[in-house]
Amino acid sequence: MTLPREHIEQLLVQFQSGEIDLAAATRQLAGSDQLETAHVDVDRQRRCGFTEVVYCEGKSVGSVVEIFKSLTSHNQHCLGTRVSKEQATALEECFPNIIYNKTARTVRLPRPDSAEEVEPVGKVSLLTAGTSDLPVAEEARETLYWMDCNVELIVDIGVAGPHRLREQVHRLQDSDAVIVVAGMEGALPSVVGGYVDCPVIAVPTSVGYGAAFGGVAALLGMLNSCASNVTVVNIDAGFKGGYIAGLITHRIAKARKNASV
């Protein structure tokens, strides 16, 4: 693995000035930071385009704080998912400017003041079948904000009232990708897929009565969609739906930029 020249130069300057010690500089040159409770991948942005995201569920409060401190020390743009109230409170104490979305159970740390301001790109339309699907949709929305994408949320347009979707179709036409979050029988993505010419990312939720089997019914319905542009992520995986849509949007933005040169 070869780090970018500017990153190596920055590390050498920090070491020379005493800002970091030899052990920290060595870890960063290796592209990782070995903590007591985690092995943080600080080279992921170079390889994959975006920094490592912290899945907080099951981690101790101290571990989450330690990981965020490691990421910020490497000038990483931080996002944490499945965050508990206790974890969020501890992070807010360390990072007063952190953005905590209680509904999404996410925390997002804005870019450092010294970082270059990034203009959001493209457009992702984010739909929910019902208001009960909002927590999953909010996780997708926070992910897209973190990825610097424009996102438009349209709520409660499920197939039980088909006129509600027809009223919103005009807002979807210029989307780079559409995310559809739905529980119950999971029918909405197929219908949306018949109206748009872009990828539709279906996110099944665990919303529904007994035979919904905690989202399995919606998942299977979406996997069996007859709409050719529909693809599916895991149950309640708002982050994954948002991340895939963000990658698509950035690819399209890059192609547009190259085409205009």
Domain regions of the chain by residue span: 31-108, 121-255
Report the chain's mean pLDDT, rounded to a whole number. 86
Tens of pLDDT, residues 99-141: 999 999 999 988 766 556 778 999 999 999 999 999 999 999 9
The total number of residues written for the chain in this structure: 261
Query: What CA–CA distances, in Å, run from 243 to 35, 140, 225?
Result: 26, 7, 21
Q: What tokens does 252 get?
A: 């399209």
Q: Name the more confident of 243 and 41.
A: 243
CA dihedral 68, 147, 192, 209 (to 10 degrees): 10
Tens of pLDDT, residues 17-52: 776 666 666 655 555 555 555 556 666 667 777 778
Q: Name the more confident of 4 and 258.
A: 258
pLDDT at 92 > cutoff 50: yes
pLDDT of the residue at 18: 74
pLDDT of the residue at 45: 66
pLDDT of the residue at 81: 95
pTM for the structure as a whole: 0.84
Residue 42 forms beta bridges with which residues?
none
Beta carbons within 8 Å of 160's beta carbon, 6+ residues apart: none
pLDDT of the residue at 229: 96
| Residue 214 phi, psi dihedral angles, 5° rounding | 60, 30
Architecture of the structural domain at 121-255 = 3-Layer(aba) Sandwich (3.40)
Query: What CA–CA distances, in Å, run from 230 to 182, 184, 192, 199?
Result: 13, 18, 9, 6
